Each structure stands twice: as C-alpha cells, then as structure tokens.
Amino acid sequence: MKTNVQLIKTSLNRRAFELSKWLYESNPVDKSKYWLWVLVRTVLIFGICFVILAPVLLKISVAFKDQVDIFDSSVMWIPRHFTLDNIKLMIERMDYWKAITATFTLSAGASILQLISCALAGYGFARLPFRGSAILFLLVIFTIVIPPQTIMAPTYLHFRFFDVFGLFHLFTGSAGINLLESYWPTFISSALAMGMKNGLYIFIFRQFFRGLPKELEEASYVDGAGILRTFSKVMLPNAVPAISTVFLFSFVWQWNDDYFVNIFMANTVSLSRQLGMLTSIARPEYVGGFAYASMLINTGALLGIAPIFLLYLYAQKYFVESVERAGLVG
C-alpha cells in the first residue's frame, strides 16, 4: 500500500515539474492558449455540473422549508425556518415505507436473478463459441432496440394464463395460472435473461469476459476444473466491476420502472406508481395552495431518488471502471 502511494506521489511530482518547466520555457502565446483552454474547460465543467445538480439542490432546499418561507422573497436556497414537516407529510401520504419495501424487494430480486442469468449468457458468448452463436448474439443485441410496448399484449396474456408447454392445462383442465399482482412475472423473466434491458447486460458481460486473459481458464482446466467451476471460481471473482455495473443498471431501471409494474402489479403499492401520482397525492385544494403543493411534490421526488443516490455513491468506482473496460475491449 505504501509503495503504491509513493509511486502516485512520484508520478504527480514529475508531472508537476514537467508542467512548471514547460510554462517557464514556453513563449507568451503558448501560455495564453494554455490558460485560455483551462478557463474554458473550467467554466464548461462548472456549467454542466450546475445544470445537473441544480434541480437536486432545489429539491433538497424545498424539502426543508416551512410554508412561511414560500412568501419570503429573501429566502432562496437556505431555509430560514428549517422543518421536517414536508418530509413527514409525504412519507405518510405516499405510504412511503410500504412502497419502498415492495420496490426494494422487486428491484433487488430482479437484479440478482439478472446478474446470474446474464453473466452465464455473456460468458457463453465470450468463451464458448458454437455454430450460430454470432447470429444468436446479434438477436440478443436486437432486443435492446425493440420497444417493450410491441409485446405488451402477449406478455400480459402469457402471465395471466401462465403455463409451461401446456402441462398445467393438460393435468388440470384450467387455462393457466394467474401470476399477475405478484413478483413472479418479473422474477421469471429475469431468471431466464428475458427481463428489462437484459440484452445490454449480456453485452456488458460478454465484452468484459473477452478482455480477461485466456490463461486463467487454461490454468483452471489443467487443475481439473470444469466449465461451471471455472466460471464460478475463476471468472466471476475477476468480474466485480462488470457485476457492479450490471447490478447498478438493473436496480436503477427496475426501481424507476412503472411500465411493467402497471402491467403486472396494477394494484400493488410501489414507489414508481406513488411518484407517478404525486400530483394527485399533493393536490392544491387538499394541502392549501399551489405553492405548497409544489413544495410537497419536490419533497416526494427527493424521497424517491434518495435511495438510488446513496447506492450510486457506493458503486460509482466499480461503475466507471467497468464502463471503461467494457467499452474498450473487443
């Protein structure tokens, strides 16, 4: 650890020395171009950061404001009367804890199942070529661009009258099992690598596994390990960045999804459905005016994005690393 820190310090000192030497020896025109580019780059970065962070900072500010701060023209970002009443009210009106529990269960379960199924599929495409694998992988990529609305009706009917090869109808005479208003449609689709955005996850795993040295597998085969053992004991431990990225993508998309939730669980309390009904939950005639209703809507939106924000803070290092490797390899 100390050696790595010393190497980093040595590299930074060397670059700082080279920069100072260049600034000392270069002519005024080059210096002007350099500092002009630094200024433009700094303004551009700060501008982009402000555009991205301003709505979030506004929601944070509004969430802790009191009603009296609405009509105080001197109050902009920092509340004068700090309060938690807005958050408490929206937690109650949104049935927040029940909604977040159901959404977390659905998102975590689907993400774990998608990790398993997509990692297996990605490893197969990367390391186990077979006749027609290129065509099959092309079809997998094609699923990324197909809108889910095109298969809405057959998907709904499939899980409304769920049957496996007609066996349930053969033995019971019934049309099928009704899996709606449960987690099963999402879990079954995720376990079979047919869930939301699974084509993208398979592509990420395939690209990552193709970038790992083949010597790792060859050494494992020499030691007597089979394909599954090599995959679970050798390849997966080296694919932590890809796993983190796929889990983050899957969890966030499932967390924010309201399309499949409205199809499969139309009467279930979930966070995405509650966020979609914020304008009905905080109607001006119920809460006492349009201005306060806007404050409550912003507070509800903040409650919805807070768990995802905390998750990204934890996983951002793995996310950036995996995106870089998946984009450059293969």
Sorting pLDDT into bands at 50, 70 and 90, what band is 2? very low
pLDDT at 288 > cutoff 80: no
Measure Cα distances from 219 to 2, 232, 237, 317 in Å.
31, 14, 15, 30
Between 36 and 7, whose confidence is greater?
36
In three-state secondary structure terms, 177 is strand
pLDDT at 299 > cutoff 90: no
Sorting pLDDT into bands at 50, 70 and 90, what band is 322? low
pLDDT at 71 > cutoff 70: yes
What confidence score (pLDDT) does residue 321 get?
65
Sorting pLDDT into bands at 50, 70 and 90, what band is 10? low
Delineate the domains of the chain, giving CATH numbers in brackets.
Answer: 2-63 (no CATH), 85-328 (1.10.3720.10)
Q: What is the pLDDT of residues 199-215, one digit of tens each?
A: 889 998 998 888 888 88
What confidence score (pLDDT) does residue 73 get?
73
DSSP 150: G
pLDDT at 329 > cutoff 50: no
Is pTM beyond 0.75? Reply is yes
In three-state secondary structure terms, 1 is coil
Q: What is the pLDDT of residues 34-59, one digit of tens each?
A: 778 889 999 999 999 889 888 888 88
Q: Which two tokens stand for residue 149?
A: 């609305």
Closest listed residue to residue 91, CA positions, set 99, 83, 102: 99
Q: What is the mean pLDDT of the chain?
A: 81
pLDDT at 4 > cutoff 70: no
Q: What is the pLDDT of residues 241-273, one digit of tens each?
A: 888 888 888 888 888 888 888 888 888 888 888
pLDDT at 289 > cutoff 80: no
Using left for φ > 0, alpha for ψ between -120 and 50, and beta otherwise, residue 288 falls in left
pLDDT at 12 > cutoff 80: no
pLDDT at 284 > cutoff 80: no
C-alpha 233, offset from chain centre: 26
Please state, for a pLDDT cut of 90, what percent of the chain lies above it. 10
pLDDT at 65 > cutoff 80: yes
**Phi then psi for 250, rounded to 5 degrees?**
-60, -45
